[in-house]
Amino acid sequence: MESNFVDYVKIVCRSGKGGRGSAHMHRAKYAPNGGPDGGDGGRGGHVYLRGNRNYWTLLHLRYDRHIFAGHGGNGGKSGSTGAKGEDKYIDVPCGTVVYNADTGEYICDVKHDGEVVMLLKGGRGGLGNQHFATATNQAPRYAQPGEPMLEMTVIMELKLLADVGLVGFPNAGKSTLLSSLSSAKPKIANYPFTTMEPSLGIVSYRDNQSFVMADIPGIIEGASEGRGLGLRFLRHIERNSLLLFMVPGDTDDIKKEYEILLNEVGSFNPELMDKQRVLAITKSDLLDDELVEMLSADLPDDLPVVFISAVANKGLAELKDILWAALNSESNKLQTILDDERIVHKNKDLSYLHNEMQDEGEDIEILDEDDIEELDDYEIEEDWDE
C-alpha cells in the first residue's frame, strides 16, 4: 500500500511571460495624426512558496507536478495596459527545503506558517509605442516585447518540526513509546524496520501543556553513509530541539550502542552534536533493581539517563519531567535561537542527487520543447538595462 507520508517531491515550475506592448496609432474622426497610444503589456505571473501549518506532508504535490503561472496580457489601444498574469502559490508544510534539481543548489527554506517566498519571478510587460515618441520620431510603429518566462525543476524536502526526536536502532521501542505518550498510532511489530515513515505525536503534560515528539525509522551503524534507510530520514531530526536516544535494556553494551548512535548523528550533521540529549533505557521491565544499579555504573555521565518501560508504564512520568525541563531550560532556548540564525543548508552533490532521486522513485520527465509555448517574434527588442 502506498504511504500517505511524502517528504520528497520533484516538480516543474514556470512563471508567466510578460505581455507585449502595443504599437497602436490613435485614430479618430476629428484627430488627424493622432499619434501613438499603444499601452504596456501586463507582467507575467509569479510563482510563490507559502508555508501552511495545515499540511504535514508533501502528498498534495505528488499528483500536481507542473505549476504554471499565467502569462501577462498584451497592451491595447488608448494606452490600455495588459492584464497581469495569474500568480501561483504553492502551499507547503513548515520545514520544507527547496533545491534546484538540475544543479543541486539550495534555494530557500520555508519555516513559518504564512511565510511567502518568491520562487520564480514573472516577466515584465513590454512598453507600448507611446513611450518611444520623440520630437524627431513622433509616430513610432514599434513596441517592446514582454520579458520571457522562467522555468525551473525543483526538489522539495520536508524536515519535520518537532520538540523531541527519537533516535535508536530498530526495535528499540520508539514507536511503542510514542503510542504510550500520545494518541499517535504508529505500526508496532516484533521485527526490525517496522517503522518505515516518520510519525508525529503530541505529548500531554501538566497544566494543559504539551510538546511534539517525532519518531523516525531506526538507524543502523553506517546510516550516515547510506546503509539501511540511510540519509532519507536522518534529516528529520535536524530541526528537533532535543534528541532522545533510546537503547534497549537487554543490550550487551548500552554505552557502546549509544556511542554508535551518537557517531552516526554527528557524521550526518556535526551541528546536531550541539543539541541537548537524553538517554532512555527501554524495556526496563525485564531488569530487576540490582541489575539496574549495576548497569547505571557504566552509563554515560554527561547527559540525563532514565530507565523506562512503555508496556509496563514504568518511568514515563519521570521521562516527561526530564524532557519538559530540558526543553524549557535557558540553554535550550538559547540554542534554538542560535540554530535559527546560523542554520546553513549545503548544496546537494550532483553525483549523489541522481541516486537520491532514484531511491525516492522520482522519474518525472522534463518538459519537451514542444510542450513550452514559444515566444512571439517582434520587430525590435529594446534593452531592459538602459
pLDDT value of residue 227:
61
pLDDT value of residue 343:
53
The mean pLDDT of the chain is 79
pLDDT higher than 70, residue 76: yes
- Residues 6 or more apart whose CB falls under 8 angstroms from that of 33 comprise 139
pLDDT value of residue 145:
92
Cα angle 313, 316, 320 (rounded to 5 degrees) comes to 160
Alpha-carbon torsion (298, 260, 193, 191), positive or negative: negative
Point out which residues pair with 88 in neighbouring strands: 47
Which tens digit of pLDDT belongs to each residue from 216-249? 777 777 665 656 555 566 777 777 888 899 888 8
Rounded mean pLDDT, 264-278: 83
DSSP element (H, E) containing 43: none
How does residue 189 score in pLDDT terms, banded at 50, 70 and 90?
Answer: low
Least confident of 66-75, 205-214, 292-301: 292-301
What are the Cα distances from residue 74, in Å, to 83, 84, 90, 132, 140? Answer: 7, 9, 26, 17, 18
How does residue 341 score in pLDDT terms, banded at 50, 70 and 90?
Answer: very low
Alpha-carbon torsion (251, 255, 258, 260), positive or negative: negative
Higher-pLDDT residue of 135, 187: 135
pLDDT value of residue 333:
53
Query: What is the CATH number that goes with domain 164-342?
Result: 3.40.50.300
pLDDT value of residue 48:
96
Separation between Cα atoms, residue 288 and residue 346, nearest integer Å: 48
Q: Do residues 22 and 129 touch, judged by C-beta distance below 8 A?
A: yes
pLDDT value of residue 326:
85
What are the Cα distances from residue 255, in Å, to 3, 23, 47, 276? Answer: 35, 79, 50, 17
pTM of the model: 0.70
pLDDT higher than 70, residue 318: yes
Instruction: Phi first, then psi: give them for residue 107, nearest 5 degrees.
Output: -110, -55
Alpha-carbon torsion (316, 318, 324, 330), positive or negative: negative
| Type of residue found at 97 | V
Q: Rg (Cα) of the chain, in Å, rounded?
A: 29
How does residue 330 score in pLDDT terms, banded at 50, 70 and 90?
Answer: low
Helices 316-327 and 174-181 meet at what angle, rounded to 10? 90
CATH 3.40.50.300 domain residues, the chain:
164-342
How does residue 310 score in pLDDT terms, banded at 50, 70 and 90?
Answer: confident
Least confident of 82-86, 232-236, 320-324, 357-361: 357-361
CATH 2.70.210.12 domain residues, the chain:
1-158+347-386
pLDDT higher than 80, residue 365: no
pLDDT value of residue 150:
94
- Residues 6 or more apart whose CB falls under 8 angstroms from that of 63 comprise none
CATH class of 1-158+347-386: mainly beta
Tell me what percent of the residues of the chain surpass a pLDDT of 70. 78
Separation between Cα atoms, residue 51 and residue 95, nearest integer Å: 8
pLDDT value of residue 30:
81
Rounded mean pLDDT, 343-352: 60
